Amino acid sequence: MTHFPSEPSHSDRPGFVAKILIIVVVVAVLLATWKIAPVFMLGFGGIVVAVALNNIATPLALRTGLPHTASLGLTVVGLTLLGIIFFALFGARAADQFARLIEELPQAWTNMEGWLESWPLGRWILVMVDDVVRGGGTALFNAVPIAGGLLGGIANAVLIVVIGIYLAADPISYRMGVLRLLPPARRARADEMLGETASALRKWLTAMSLDMLFLGTITGIGLWLVGVPLYFALGVLSGLSVFVPYLGPLVATVPGLLLALSVSPQLALYALIVYVVTQQLEGNISLPLLQRWTVQMPPALMLLAIVGFGLLFGLWGVLLATPLAVATITIIRMAYVEDVLENPTAHGAE
């Protein structure tokens, strides 16, 4: 008697259809995100700012008993005053040193070219640099455009701050609005994921701020000790560069080495030693200690995230690659690893 394959049972069909729908939704979300990349990056940047503001406002409200909006207002005013005080104390020096840095870098590069051309290995290095700049370097800068130039970048940054303030002022309403887009049965778990993601971002922001302060301070002090000019601006630049892990600190060494080399090769060697020592201290002491209580990401994964988000979202994707990776890893861990791979109920229903 011939047996024909039986049709899928009704219990199998929903699971299969659900998987197809999930794939369709994921593809649709990825396509939509790619199409509206600038809007997505402004929104995510606002989320990061909102998390940073509430990282201060929430403990302040708990300790003082003030309403959340009042504590948020005090936080914004306090951070603004701190910024004004900082620029009043160091702004003139920083602005002057950064202006001089921009003016002196072309001449420093010219001096370095003359120094490298004086020996065979140096001439080979110049040829390699020229090939990179004319080939892959140009393509890279074209692939990562600065939307609207400097003014456009400043406008986007201001817009991100404004969006962040609005999100921080009423996070529950926005959170509930997102949850209402999901089926009722999924809302509790989705709310848990959002809370865990926000917690991971808060921890990352705290760790990143401390790491930036550490590297910027020790780099500025080290360059000052060996006599590198414009050490304050170079220290600030090194601290800010930590926001783009691994690649940022390496790029930030170039201006300092060029300036030091414009003085003498011996000073350039001292500056190189300072950069190597400070980045080793940051990478092997400061960063591991801070990452113990935040999301840990292997260096290779972080570099891939920087490249991937940079190709998807341009310069803002590079700048926000780390918080994007933190949020993505947290959601994948909870939504896929815990709820699908490690959930016996999910396997039994298939």
Give per-residue pLDDT as tens, 15-68.
566 667 777 777 777 776 667 777 888 889 999 999 999 989 989 988 988 898
Asked if residue 328 belongs to a domain, the reply is yes
List, in order, residues 6 or more apart from 93 with CB less than 8 Å away: 232
Rounded to whole angstroms, the Cα distance separating 190 from 178 reads 9
**pLDDT score of 318 more than 70:** yes
What's the confidence (pLDDT) of residue 339?
A: 82
Residue 135 belongs to domain spanning: 37-142+151-342
Asked if residue 234 belongs to a domain, the reply is yes
Share of the chain above pLDDT 90, in %: 19
What's the confidence (pLDDT) of residue 270?
A: 93
Assign 94 a pLDDT band (cuts: 50, 70, 90): low
Asked if residue 14 belongs to a domain, the reply is no
Buried b / exposed e over 234-264, threshold 16 CB at 10 Å, is bbbbbbebbbbbebbbeebbebbbbbbbbee
**Tokens for 232?**
């304050």
**pLDDT score of 11 more than 50:** no
Asked if residue 85 belongs to a domain, the reply is yes
What is the DSSP secondary-structure string of 206-250? HHHHHHHHHHHHHHHHHHHHHT-TTHHHHHHHHHHHTTSTTHHHH
**pLDDT score of 196 more than 80:** yes
The pLDDT tens digits for 70-92 are 999 999 999 888 888 877 766 66
Rounded to whole angstroms, the Cα distance separating 350 from 273 reads 59
Rounded to whole angstroms, the Cα distance separating 244 from 253 reads 14
Rounded to whole angstroms, the Cα distance separating 325 from 308 reads 10
Asked if residue 30 belongs to a domain, the reply is no
Q: For residues 197-205, give the mean pLDDT.
A: 90
Rounded to whole angstroms, the Cα distance separating 238 from 219 reads 7
**Cα(first)–Cα(last) distance of the chain, in Å?**
30
Q: Is 289 helix (H, G, I), strand (E, B) or coil?
A: helix
What's the confidence (pLDDT) of residue 10?
A: 47
Q: What share of the chain is helix, strand, coil (3-state, %, to 5)?
A: 85, 0, 15
Asked if residue 6 belongs to a domain, the reply is no
Per the structure, how many domains does the chain have?
1
What's the confidence (pLDDT) of residue 145?
A: 44
Asked if residue 349 belongs to a domain, the reply is no
